[in-house]
Amino acid sequence: MIISPIDYRYGRDEVKKIFSEEARLSYMLKVEGAIAEAEGELGIIPKKDAKNIAKYANTKFVDIKEVKKLEKQIGHDVMAMVKVLAEVSGQSGAFVHLGATSNDINDTATALQLKDFYYILEEDLFRLGKSLSTLAYKYKKTPMMGRTHGQHALPITFGLKISVYLNEIMRHIERVRESRKRVIVGKFMGAVGTGAALGEKTIEIQEIVMRKLEIGYEEGPTQLVDRDRYVEYVSILSSIATSLEKFSTEVRNLQRPEIDEVQEPFDEDKQVGSSTMAQKVNPVVSENISSLARIIRGFLNPMHESSILWHERDLTNSASERFIIPYTSVLIDDILNKMSNVFEGLKVNEKKMLENLLNDELVLGEAYIMNLVRLGYGRQEAHEIVREASMKSRKTGMKLKDLIEEKTGKRLDDINPLDYTGNSIAITEKILKRFERLNGRKKVKPNQ
């Protein structure tokens, strides 16, 4: 019986596979194999037994059904895995899990999952960055209305709007890259973090194990890897989700019929907008992104709570983390790809952008203030003249420029709002160049 929508509605198989039950077992077994190999190299267990354990420490030999069946009997998931691995390893099974505690396996397996997911996460961010850079370049000279407080403000370019989003995504790429060394860490220090079971060699074993697995290790463990690392991870995902909701909200706003400047992709031949209002073209993907972004952020508080444990560890973090890390990872990948799809297929209505801009002379209020200052007025005096004229223009429908000239007796410059986009193009081009450099240093998974 399937209950969670993440199993049948949301998320890509590529990512769900990393956090699946089968993959989790595979990562745990990989850790057990690395521990045995390290102990064999240091002469703690016979080398032939170490090689044998490493050989059988995979899901070809350790059947997940057998592990789950045994777990039901003994009530311990890691010990069930250990027992089945020990059994299939024959006489060598006597050395399985030597000196380890459950969370040496669990936390290190989580690090391996996150190591694999980080490559996908970075690829997702670069894909979104590419879609944004394409739009920003194409529309860097396209004027549109800038809005503050939901009201008309000053002219900008659509390229500038999109380049601001691109700049935000580049910061997220930097955050993801910088966090790798703090988030992707495992441990092999036993029950309370002292490594007492195998004595002074434990530190060396831990270094060998983590080097084999190509991850970092916890320098100051308890029974766990310190949870501030996971808090940072979920915080970064929450921050990315917040950006995506911001972007998708802007798409939804600009798609409103009274604005009509963009539209997310919509298959007019097949797609249904409403079960009753057949005429509807709804921004459902952008709305879905907003909805799922809130779910991701909702996991941040439980992750903080899960880092507050008694003494060297209790079990209050265990159940919540089984949801938090897989769900936030699967969902952030889902909405990153949906956001890329939106921007890659975005319909941009340049004609409407131009119409909305040219139909509101009040957008030149700041320009007229500066014009008056050049004519000798103080800035505050010029501001009050334009403010009063703007209020009168709203009431009477008279032209703002005419009202200002009538009030001052001065001839104002003819100002075209299309020429009042400031440094929009220069800012956009600078951000595009930075993304081009960053994209040139893009990391890929070693086996790609």
**374 in the same domain as 228:** no
Q: Tell me the pLDDT band of 271, cut-offs 50, 70 and 90.
A: confident
Residues 141 and 163 in one domain: yes
Is residue 212 domain-shared with residue 130, that is, in the same domain?
Answer: yes
Mean pLDDT of the chain: 95
Model pLDDT for residues 14-41, shown as the tens digit of each residue: 999 999 999 999 999 999 999 999 999 9
Range of the domain at 391: 359-422
Quickly state the pLDDT bin for 445 (edges 50, 70, 90): low
Domain annotation covers residue 5: no
Residue 172, amino acid: H
| 280: pLDDT strictly greater than 70 | yes
pLDDT of residue 272: 78
For position 42, which CATH number holds? 1.10.275.10
Q: Is 149 among the catalytic positions?
A: yes
pLDDT tens-digit series, residues 98-138: 999 999 999 999 999 999 999 999 999 999 999 999 999 99
Assess whether 340 and 287 both reside in one domain.
Answer: yes
pLDDT, tens digit, for every residue of 221-270?
A: 999 999 999 999 999 999 999 999 999 999 999 999 999 999 999 877 78
Domain boundary among 46, 63, 98: 98
pLDDT at 441: 72
pLDDT of amino acid 448: 46
Please say if the pLDDT value at position 285 is more than 90: yes
Domain identity same for 188 and 210: yes
Per the domain annotation, does 39 fall within a domain? yes
Shared-domain flag, residues 178 and 239: yes
- Residue 170: give its domain's CATH number: 1.20.200.10
Pair (226, 258) in one structural domain: yes
Q: Which of 20, 149, 235, 286 is catalytic?
A: 149
Does the residue 448 lie in any domain? no
Q: What is the pLDDT of residues 379-405, one digit of tens each?
A: 999 999 999 999 999 999 999 999 999
Domain boundary among 79, 98, 117: 98
| Buried b or exposed e, range 370-390, using 16+ CB within 10 angstroms | ebbeeeebeeeebbebbeebb
Instruction: Give the pLDDT of residue 244.
Output: 98
Examine the domain organization and report whether 273 and 154 are in the same domain. yes
Reported as a single tens digit per residue, the pLDDT across 180-216 is 999 999 999 999 999 999 999 999 999 999 999 999 9
pLDDT tens digits along 333-369: 999 999 999 999 999 999 999 999 999 999 999 999 9
Together in a domain, 18 and 75: yes
pLDDT for residue 234: 98
* Same-domain status, 304 and 248: yes
Q: Which is the catalytic residue, given 274, 306, 311, 340?
A: 274
**Is it the case that residue 140 has pLDDT exceeding 50?**
yes
Boundary (domain end) residue, out of 43, 65, 98: 98
Residue 161, CA distances (Å) to 141, 158, 418 in order: 11, 5, 16
Tell me the per-residue pLDDT of 44-76, one tens digit each, with 9 for 90 and over.
999 999 999 999 999 999 999 999 999 999 999
Specify if 142 maps to a domain: yes
Residue 117 lies in a domain: yes
> Does residue 1 sit within a domain?
no
340-343, long-range: CB within 8 Å, 24+ apart, which pairs? 340/124, 340/127, 340/128, 340/131, 341/265, 341/285, 342/248, 342/251, 342/264, 342/265, 342/285, 342/286, 342/289, 343/128, 343/131, 343/132, 343/135, 343/162, 343/247
274 is catalytic: yes
Whole-prediction pTM? 0.95
Q: Are 176 and 444 in contact (CB under 8 A)?
A: no
pLDDT of residue 311 exceeding 60, the answer is: yes
Q: What is the pLDDT of residue 266?
A: 81
Q: How many domains does the chain have?
A: 3
Kindly state whether residues 88 and 232 are assigned to the same domain. no
Query: Do 46 and 138 reside in the same domain of the chain?
Result: no
pLDDT confidence tier of residue 292, bands split at 50, 70 and 90: very high
Q: What is the pLDDT of residue 267?
A: 75
Q: Which of 412, 253, 244 is nearest to 338 (CA)?
A: 244
The pLDDT of residue 279 is above 90: no
For residue 445, being part of any structural domain is answered with no
Determine, yes or no, domain membership for 324.
yes
- What does the alpha-carbon distance between residue 264 and residue 286 come to, in Å, rounded to a whole number? 8
